[in-house]
Amino acid sequence: MIREEAEAAGTTRFRHEFLGLRLYSDGPIDTTTHDGVLTWDLAPSPAPTRVFVEAPLGDAAAFWRPVAGYGLRLPPDWGGRADVSGILRAPFGVLHDQDGFARLGMAVSPADTAVSMRYGVSEESAAFVLELVVAASSETRRVILDRSGGELFDAMARLRQRVEAPAPHSVSPLAAEPVYSTWYSFHDALHHDALIEEARVARDLGFGSLFLDYGWQRLGGSRYFDGCGDWVADAEKFPDLRATVNEIQGLGLGVVLWVAPLLVGDRSDAFARLGSRATVEPPSLRARVLDPRLPEVREHVVETCLRLVDEYGVDGLKIDFIDAVSGYADPGDVATHVELAAAITDILTEVRAQLDANGHEGLLIEYREPYVGLGLAASGDVIRAEDCPGDFIANRRATLDLRVLASGQLVHSDMMMWDPELPGPAAAAALWNAAFSVPQISMRLTEMSEASREALAAWVTAWRETAGLALFGRLLGLRPQLHYPSATAVEGEEALIVVWSADAVMSIPSGVRRAVIVNATTIARLTVRNESSCRAEIFDHLGNPVGAVDTAGWLDVQVPVGGRVVVNRA
């Protein structure tokens, strides 16, 4: 289908071949090749440039894209579509086999290029086809096609290195601390006394930060956003929000404040001043979205963010609903995506610059899916999984996808919540779905049973013990088309392996002397390929030792659900 439409549009007028790939374009194909990588320079053009790639299907099992969610993994070519820009998603893709080894990597540079993508399996030719409509530009743009293979994580690392993007901002130390979030636990029913009690328990359980979400602000008394715009504290809930923040910080927790500075509701005082600058009104929000291309909107956003930090003394900002500006984009017109992405990037870059200039260099700024483009790494140091309350598989998918994509930022899970009656081992297994990110938790801690709090504290401790590997190690064994049945992170001679599928047989990577293997399945057994002498110590979900095994061969051991086995090899 795509091939036939490309021919009709004249895209196949120019042709080129490279390592089994067939390249077509409606303009001259200017390429260079090196070590299995082709770089294809697209000349400056006042109109979008259309390019088309046809690749052998081979043993491909899926086409990985950042922020793909539960979508089709290897769709027919009429089913695969994605629009990306400098803020929404990112211009990458990796065609890979069932074991996660790359067959074709694709990227577009610079990182802020707007691209409309179509991709999938051609029913006519049994090939994988990819069409890119690259936004017009006065500068050269580059399509990168990588045929050098390797693991998914490594293939993406190579692509990221070849894409021109702003240098990432330094990451706040607070970004690596487990988060207690008020969103799912309180929604808008926040007030000082309850928050302080939760903060005390969170501190005792091992959390390092508290994210004060929606509901702290005046007119924040519903699940909708028609009161947004003024960004001042609700005086009934928080008579002195600065004092509340100081008290939480005095307990040893950093405080991050939620704000959606591009939203303005008709109940706010700000609406009279800003309402005419907001013509998009998504029904799901019941608020209007300010147009970021307007100078007065830029001034409002920057002033709001700086004022909140200075007035309330918080340690960070959770800047939400940036993606809502996509309502200003014209369908099928990549030029408007370029304008909006540039405007948002400029605003957020200025927010960060002003904060740094005013002595807030270590401030944490969080963004979330789908606004995870590499260009935003210059202003934000945290990218978080999209909302998925209770869906631990979605959290696992999103956090691992973001770990593969991230360029300097730390990845956070969505706020995790679960059935309070869930037994401790099952709860621990569920929490391990966020193993390779910084965990965010949103449950009423003061209402938990003592046993549940004990289990949560044990899990936070266990996560901290392997956080360095989880957040910074090289990822191996990723199979995204199966929702990541397991994952491994390696750093030097140490490895963290988390198993989510009861059918998985794990391998300890060569060169690893110490491996922590977590049983996040529903059965109390793990099978591990091993070919050297080792001692395996087994722990339950509370961290209590329950046994040990010495062997020189494979491990087939009883490991409690939610527990782990620590393997030390000779």
pLDDT tens for residues 409-444?
Answer: 999 999 999 999 999 999 999 999 999 999 999 999
487, pLDDT greater than 70: yes
User: What number is the average pLDDT over the span 445-452?
Assistant: 94
Could you report the per-residue pLDDT of 22-51, keeping only the tens digit for each?
999 988 899 999 999 999 999 999 999 999
| Cα dist from 32 to 17, 29, 147, whole Å | 12, 10, 13
* pLDDT for residue 193: 97
Q: pTM, whole model, 2 decimals?
A: 0.96
Could you report the per-residue pLDDT of 214-248, keeping only the tens digit for each?
999 999 877 789 999 999 999 999 999 999 999 99
Could you report the per-residue pLDDT of 355-381, keeping only the tens digit for each?
999 999 999 999 999 999 898 999 999
User: What number is the average pLDDT over the span 544-561?
Assistant: 94
> Any idea how long the chain is?
570
- Tell me the CA end-to-end span of the chain in Å, nearest whole number: 56
| Cα dist from 174 to 394, 401, 413, 415, 561, whole Å | 25, 22, 15, 17, 30
Sign of CA dihedral 344, 347, 352, 355: negative
- Tell me the pLDDT band of 566, cut-offs 50, 70 and 90: very high
Residue 492: CA count within 13 A, CB half-sphere: 4
* pLDDT for residue 332: 66
User: What number is the average pLDDT over the span 515-521?
Assistant: 98
262, pLDDT greater than 70: yes
336, pLDDT greater than 90: no
Helices assigned H by DSSP within 189-280: 192-205, 241-250, 271-274
12, pLDDT greater than 80: no
Q: Spell out a b/e string for 172-204, using b for 16 or more CB atoms within 10 Å of the CB, else e.
A: bebbbbbbbbbbbbbebebbbebbeebbbbbbe
Q: Is 358 helix (H, G, I), strand (E, B) or coil?
A: coil
Q: Which residue type sits at 457?
A: A
